[in-house]
Homo-oligomer: A and B are copies of this chain.
C-alpha cells in the first residue's frame, strides 16, 4: 500500500464525515434541512480548523469564524450552543474517524512484520489526508480541563497499544528481538506525530509521505531485528 492507494479507500469514508457529524449531533443542531446542515457544517469546520491551526482555538473569535465561514454569528449558533461545544464536536469527530479507519485497515491475517508496516502506513497516510484535524487534536487537547485531557491520554495509549500489541506478538513468534516493545511503540507514535506537527520541515525538504513511511519502517525494523 502506498499513499495513492490509501486515498482511494479514504475517499469512500470522507464523504461520510459530515453525515456522521450530523447524526451524532442531531439534537444540538437547530437547523432541520439535512442538505443545509451538511453544507454549512463543512464550511464551519473548515474555517474553524484553518483559523485554529494558525492562531489556536482560544484565540479564534466567533467574529472571525463568522467571517471566514461566510455565516453570520447568529447562524453559527444554530449549529452549536457554545464555542466549547464546537470544540467538542471537532475533537470527537477526529477520534471517531481515526479509530474507524484503523479498525478497518489492520487485518489480523498477516504476520507481525506486515501488520506493523500496515499500521504505520495507515496512521501516517490518514494523518496526511486529514492533516488539519490531526494537528488540531494534538495542539488543542493540551489546553483542556483535566477530565477531557484524561480522555485524550487514553486515546493516545489506545492507539499506541495497536503498535505495541503487534510488536509483542512478533516477539512471541520469535520474529522480533525482545527489546523494550512499549518504548518502541511510543517512539513510533512520536515519529508519526512529527510528520503532521512539522509538516513545514518535510515540505521544505521535499520528503514525500511514502519516503517518510519507508524511513520509519526501516528505522524501527533495524531496532526490532537488531542482533546484539
Copies of this chain, tallied across the complex: 2
A104 at the interface (CB under 8 A from B): no
CB distance from A212 to the nearest CB of B (A): 7
Contact pattern, A 139-157, Cβ under 8 Å of B = 1, otherwise 0: 1001100000000010011
CB distance from A131 to the nearest CB of B (A): 14
CB atoms of B191 and A55 under 8 A apart: no
* Residue from A55, A183, A228 whose CB has the most chain B CB atoms within 10 Å: A183
CB distance from A136 to the nearest CB of B (A): 11
How many residues from A make CB contacts under 8 Å with B?
37
> Which 7 pairs, one residue from A and one from B, show the smallest C-beta to C-beta distance?
A190-B194, A56-B143, A222-B226, A222-B223, A58-B58, A222-B222, A183-B215
Q: Which residues of B contact A215 (CB under 8 A)?
A: 180, 183, 187
Q: Which residues of B contact A187 (CB under 8 A)?
A: 191, 194, 215-216, 219
A interface residues with partner B (beta carbon < 8 Å): 54-56, 58-59, 139, 142-143, 153, 156-157, 179-180, 182-184, 186-187, 189-191, 193-194, 198, 200-201, 205, 207, 212, 215-216, 218-219, 222-223, 226, 228
